[in-house]
Structure 1
Amino acid sequence: MDVPTYSTAERERRWSIAREIMAAEGVQALVAYGEHECADLAPFAPDAYFTNDRPGSIVIFCGDADPIQLTWSTLPVADHIQARRRGETLWIPPERMLVAKNAAGVVEVLRQHGLERAAIGVLGLDPYPPFHINPIMPHGLWSQVLTELPDATFRGVGLSYLFATICQSDEELAVVRHSAATGDLMAEAMVAAARPGATEADVYAAGMAAAFRRGVAAPDMLLSSGPGFVSWGPPVWSYRPQAPRTLRDGDVIMAEVFCRYGMKETQHQVAIAIGAPHPDIERGAEVARASYEAGLAAARPGNAFADVVAAMQGPLSAADAWNVHPLVHTLNPMGPVCGFGDGLRNLPEAGRYGRLFEVPTMGGELPLAPGMTFAFEPNAVIGDRIVNLGGTVVIGEDEAVELNPYTAQLLRSPA
């Protein structure tokens, strides 16, 4: 299979970015904490960005020296050995890998480089929306580092990392396109599986299988079905012991598919009508499509993320609709995100719940630039029925580039 890969030039570009962040922040070292491996949605993985390897480590840049990788166990080392035996190109040499993803390991590396009193930048001390509204750095690990190095100065550099890495290189965009093409194949397989008598699990399995055959990780999928609903999340049978729902004529399936290839993520909003859906579904699809087109028109250099959000909110406001989840957010890395959930309080059942508040738009001031990737996921609730569609969009030199026009519409499977 002919697939895009990363070159050593991409490695040097990324390591230069680390040093540019250090220079801009006035720090002498950079500590990049990575979320544990097998994380599903929106993983916090700056470690993998700098290693092109198995996620779940801590990567430390000390001055101009090449980075050091601290792994959580011997398993990543065993993988590294096996990859070297196969002749694969690796970014981190064996001499710069330590089984020491802990406070003692971080302190040891910084002390060895004479950085006990230095200013040190840290990735992991800033929020990483939408899933990590609070910093992801473990309290136990970091409090011990602070105790061991009382004369060092640590500061979060998450915003610098976001701005430095959000515009994808040509090699990265090739990886993104491969993932996006896989998402279309997943959607096609799901449409083929969506028929009366099949189950939600059948549709889920068909989509996942299409990704796995391409060697692309599909870490999760949000999916609901029925004649209409306002819920949004993973299928309930994935976390609650109950049977997957059986599909019927007149149902709709609303899904969000996540693809990840080379640690670059694309997202795909799959809406499937089985037979003739309720009129509110048809109307919701029109509103969501209008929101999508408005966002495309606004997604160009010279505008800010807030301009895209405002453009996409316009058709919903005109239709007296609301959005259950974000209309748009950044990808690779995730960060700025459109607000959502403001209509939930109007549901008749809402009064029985405790504190309810919508999530506000975050990062609206982000200026758009070529190479940025976004999840366009316009969704509109008409009555008690949500319609969700869209896909991954890249900011081009002059205008937005659609990678998934196939899923930017209501798909139909004959009953």
Structure 2
Amino acid sequence: MTINVPAYSLAERDRRWALARELMEAEGIDALIAYGEHECADLAPFAPDTYFTNDRPGSIVIFCRDADPIELVWSNLPIQDHIEATKRGDQMWFEPRNIRVGRNATGVIEVLREHRLENAAVGVLGLDPFPPFHILPIMPHALWSQVLADLPEATFKAVGMSYLFATICQSEEELAVIRYSADSGEAMARAMLEATAPGVDEAEIFTAGMSAAFRRGTAAPQMLLWSGPGFVSWGSPAWAYRPQAPRVVQDGDVVLAEAFCRFGMKETQTQVAIAVGDIHPDLEEAAVIARAAYDAGLAAAQVGNSFGDLAEAMLGVLKEADAWNIHPMVHTLNPYGPVCGFGQGLSRVPEALEYGRLFELPTMGGELPLAPGMTFAFEPNAVIGGRAMNLGCTVVIGEDGPIELNPYTAQLLRA
């Protein structure tokens, strides 16, 4: 299969490095530390390091005044990769002299002292919450407490919100990568639909979707998936974490999935809903409500509105229909940040009242103004009679209105 694969240029690197320095100037800081989550992180990775390196995730990147940034890696392995990539002729963003082993407190302190920043104001990415999965800051306590102890005269400040505002509007090169990722997500959905039939187990459907993504060279695809005649669960299939057989799909089931594609460290999401034969009327009604919420979201996804306007437009459809949502209706991508509220309706499920404490997340980041180039996971979901339906795709805010990247899954598919 021959495919045209977009790539990033050195002009994109220079644009991103310039954004870092503009952030530093705006925040009044002399250095910027970008802590990246370890490599092989699963969903929603915290990876500002790769934003600046275009390289293997799991490093710490430090900008010091006007000098080229330094990348601190955890072992020789990323350096070995850099050597081989250079041999292949890949266009690398960092020169070897600016990469060193030392992804730890000692390494951070060493870089700051080399640039005589022991008494400086330093911005940090990693000290802010990073929803949806990192409600608390991701910076390791042992690492950060040592930095604070060894550099008592320095002033450190969290600059995560400034980073979000600086990077959330994608460049043309980034949008090309995001479109490629979204196309891979649609390929996953089509393959899953083709594989779905009574007598097929969840693992076969999962495999069909993942294979379609891997064939396109999409890195780290992942999937949430559940099946049955009706349920309020959401997450990885149970056989992914418990030793049990994958469930066999039956006539009358619905297969719901959320497919994650990540290409060039840009993520898109594809919401897959597949009806297997005739499904329960509550599921059909929930699909209509979810689609109405999707359309309401598109109408609100306009420059001049806020993320809060967008979230409330989608939630309003649920309220009017007396339905509720098992997960957010919409959230930002690239990077993650503002997220629509969810969790309130679980108290309607009688079995839920037996648990010690339930959770409700209010909409976070509602004040974010919508601007061209922002990317969102549209994932409207509705529960009717204890049966959930979920559909949607990735949407970009355009100058003249929303751009649906993979609208094939903004509907109930039928096997």
Same fold (TM over 0.5): yes
Counterpart residue number, 2:406: 404
Cα distance between partner residues in 1 of 2:247 and 2:357 = 31
Alignment of 1:33-112 (within 5 A): 33-112=35-114
Cα distance between partner residues in 1 of 2:388 and 2:291 = 13
Whether contact under 8 Å (1:30, 1:121) holds in the other structure is yes
Q: Return the offset for 1:220.
A: 1.6
Residue 319 of structure 1: which of 321, 332, 338 is its match? 321
Cα distance between partner residues in 2 of 1:280 and 1:212 = 35
Cα distance between partner residues in 2 of 1:217 and 1:226 = 29
Counterpart residue number, 2:135: 133
Whether contact under 8 Å (1:218, 1:257) holds in the other structure is no
SS of the residue corresponding to residue 242 of structure 1 reads coil
SS of the residue corresponding to residue 331 of structure 2 reads strand
Alignment of 1:296-311 (within 5 A): 296-311=298-313
Whether contact under 8 Å (2:291, 2:410) holds in the other structure is yes
Segments of 4+ moved more than 4 angstroms? none
Whether contact under 8 Å (1:208, 1:218) holds in the other structure is no
Q: Return the offset for 1:364.
A: 0.2
Cα distance between partner residues in 2 of 1:172 and 1:370 = 13
Cα distance between partner residues in 1 of 2:298 and 2:366 = 16
Residue 330 of structure 1: which of 329, 332, 339 is its match? 332
Give the gaps of 5 or more residues in structure 1. Answer: none
Alignment of 1:180-191 (within 5 A): 180-191=182-193
Counterpart residue number, 2:152: 150
Are 1:229 and 2:266 matched, yes or no? Answer: no
Cα distance between partner residues in 2 of 1:219 and 1:403 = 17
Whether contact under 8 Å (2:214, 2:221) holds in the other structure is no
Per-residue CA shift, 1:259-303, capped at 9, x if unaligned? 000000000100000111111111000000000000000001000
Cα distance between partner residues in 1 of 2:26 and 2:190 = 46
Whether contact under 8 Å (1:72, 1:99) holds in the other structure is yes
Q: Return the offset for 1:139.
A: 0.2
The letter for the 2-side match of 1:142 is: W
Give the gaps of 5 or more residues in structure 2. Answer: none
Cα distance between partner residues in 2 of 1:218 and 1:188 = 19
Are 1:252 and 2:278 matched, yes or no? Answer: no
Whether contact under 8 Å (2:213, 2:221) holds in the other structure is no
Identity among equivalent pairs (%): 71
Cα distance between partner residues in 1 of 2:144 and 2:100 = 18
Counterpart residue number, 1:8: 10
Alignment of 1:386-397 (within 5 A): 386-397=388-399
Whether contact under 8 Å (2:287, 2:382) holds in the other structure is yes
The letter for the 2-side match of 1:305 is: F
Cα distance between partner residues in 2 of 1:10 and 1:363 = 27
Cα distance between partner residues in 1 of 2:214 and 2:248 = 24
Are 1:23 and 2:25 matched, yes or no? Answer: yes
Alignment of 1:329-368 (within 5 A): 329-368=331-370
The letter for the 2-side match of 1:88 is: D
The letter for the 2-side match of 1:115 is: L
The letter for the 1-side match of 2:72 is: L
Q: How many residues align?
A: 413
Cα distance between partner residues in 1 of 2:325 and 2:219 = 28
Q: Return the offset for 1:7.
A: 0.4
Whether contact under 8 Å (1:40, 1:219) holds in the other structure is no
Per-residue CA shift, 1:386-407, capped at 9, x if unaligned? 0000000000002111111100
Cα distance between partner residues in 2 of 1:20 and 1:154 = 18
Q: Return the offset for 1:219.
A: 3.3
Cα distance between partner residues in 1 of 2:219 and 2:324 = 32
Cα distance between partner residues in 1 of 2:277 and 2:219 = 31
Per-residue CA shift, 1:112-132, capped at 9, x if unaligned? 000000000000000001110
Larger displacement relative to structure 2 (117-126 or 308-317): 308-317
Cα distance between partner residues in 2 of 1:218 and 1:39 = 9
Cα distance between partner residues in 1 of 2:142 and 2:116 = 24
Are 1:263 and 2:254 matched, yes or no? Answer: no
Counterpart residue number, 1:113: 115
Residue 122 of structure 1: which of 124, 129, 149 is its match? 124
Are 1:216 and 2:218 matched, yes or no? Answer: yes
Cα distance between partner residues in 2 of 1:349 and 1:82 = 55
Cα distance between partner residues in 2 of 1:222 and 1:203 = 12
Please, what TM-score do these two structures have when normalized by structure 2? Answer: 0.99
Are 1:289 and 2:291 matched, yes or no? Answer: yes
SS of the residue corresponding to residue 344 of structure 2 reads coil
Cα distance between partner residues in 2 of 1:404 and 1:17 = 29
The letter for the 2-side match of 1:217 is: A
Per-residue CA shift, 1:324-352, capped at 9, x if unaligned? 00000000000000000101012111221
Cα distance between partner residues in 2 of 1:229 and 1:247 = 14
SS of the residue corresponding to residue 343 of structure 1 reads helix
Counterpart residue number, 1:381: 383
Whether contact under 8 Å (1:61, 1:67) holds in the other structure is yes
